[in-house]
Amino acid sequence: MYVTHPVPADLRILDDAPVPAPDPDLLARTDALWECERLERPGLHDGRIFSLAGMEGGTLHGFAAPYRWHVARCREPKRFAALPVRSLAVTGLVTASGHLFFGLRKTSLAIEGGLWETVPAGTLHLGRKEEDGALSWRDLFLEELREELGVSAPAASLRPVALVEDTVTGIWELGVAVDLQADHRDVLGAWAMLETTEHSELAAVPLADVPRFVRERGPSLVGACPHLAAAAGFAPAL
């Protein structure tokens, strides 16, 4: 089930919540699953990601959680429902010359491989911060924009649209809209020049055609994708 939450323009994200202590048996099962994942994908890295603990006004509060918790929760949501992790991804709703961009995630990716999503998208980690100590979702978005599309945009042009919550996996996605001052064909060309990318295909869909694209892709879309598109006004409300 997906729930769409409003998000303020002055959104702040703080890693100031205490880290919970899961049941030892649950942690042991998580570690076992992680080792199996690493055998299949040796490049997996168990870093620290932001996990949402609560919302207060225009501020999200959370803590640093191991990435392996996130993987376990996504792999087997029912078995690992008690894991206290609610990851936060920053997901783009990027347009250029009247087109919205979608990327097909490579099947080799640990999470949601082989599915279409709006791009760019990346899980919030505990790196860059604003001057007031808040985690910088803007810096993360701009970094992902360069890495996944090969383009840039002014930070001031970024607009938070909505928060979409997956109540099963615990994944939250912050939709960020930006209209690039470029031709969509130039963006496709910049993506094609990237040496590495998380997507095997990139599609620039005319805005008038987005509802059809979303409808026809259906099950092959990342779950939050149609909800983010609807929140931004690119597709009908679900």
Q: Could you tell me where the beta strands, DSSP code E, fall in the chain?
A: 2-5, 12-14, 48-56, 59-66, 88-96, 99-105, 116-118, 121-123, 159-166, 172-180, 199-206
Question: Which pLDDT score is estimated for 47?
Answer: 92
| pLDDT range class, residue 109, cuts 50, 70, 90 | confident
Q: Is 43 helix (H, G, I), strand (E, B) or coil?
A: coil
pLDDT at 163 exceeding the cut of 90: yes
Residue 72 to residue 172: CA distance in whole angstroms: 16
- Looking at the DSSP assignment, which residues form a beta bridge with residue 51? 63, 87
In a domain, 177, yes or no: yes
180 has pLDDT over 90: yes
Domains contained in the chain, number: 1
Model confidence band, residue 9 (pLDDT cutoffs 50, 70, 90): confident
Q: Is residue 112 part of a domain?
A: yes
How far is 150 from 172, CA to CA, in rounded Å? 25
Burial of 71 (0-12, 13-18, 19+ CB in 10 A): buried
DSSP 80-107: TTTS---BEEEEEEEEETTEEEEEEE-T
Is there a domain that residue 172 lies in? yes
Instruction: Flag whether pLDDT at 57 surpasses 90.
Output: no
pLDDT more than 90, % of the chain: 88
Q: Per the domain annotation, does 238 fall within a domain?
A: no
The verdict on residue 97 lying in a domain is yes
Q: How many CB atoms lie within 10 A of CB 169?
A: 22
Joined tokens for residue 164: 């979409």
Q: Provide the pLDDT for residue 110.
A: 83
Q: How far apart are alpha carbons 223 and 49 in whole angstroms? A: 20
Domain presence at residue 236: no
Percent of the chain with pLDDT over 70: 100
pLDDT at 128: 80
> Is pLDDT of 15 > 90?
yes
| Domain span including residue 224 | 2-231
Q: Is residue 143 part of a domain?
A: yes
Pick the more confident residue, 130 or 127. 130
| Contact by Cβ (8 Å): 166, 70 | no
Q: What is the per-residue pLDDT for 72?
A: 94
pTM, 2 dp: 0.94
Domain of 127: which CATH number?
3.90.79.10
Mean pLDDT of 42-55: 92
Instruction: Grade residue 43 by pLDDT with cuts at 50, 70 and 90.
Output: confident
Per-residue three-class SS string for 205-220: EEHHHHHHHHHHHHHH
Would 71 be classed as within a structural domain? yes
* Residue 4 contacts residue 162 (beta carbons within 8 Å): yes
- What are 79's two structure tokens? 């078995």
Find out whether 119 and 230 touch, Cβ atoms under 8 Å: no
> Taking a C-beta distance cutoff of 8 angstroms, is the pair 166, 223 a contact?
yes
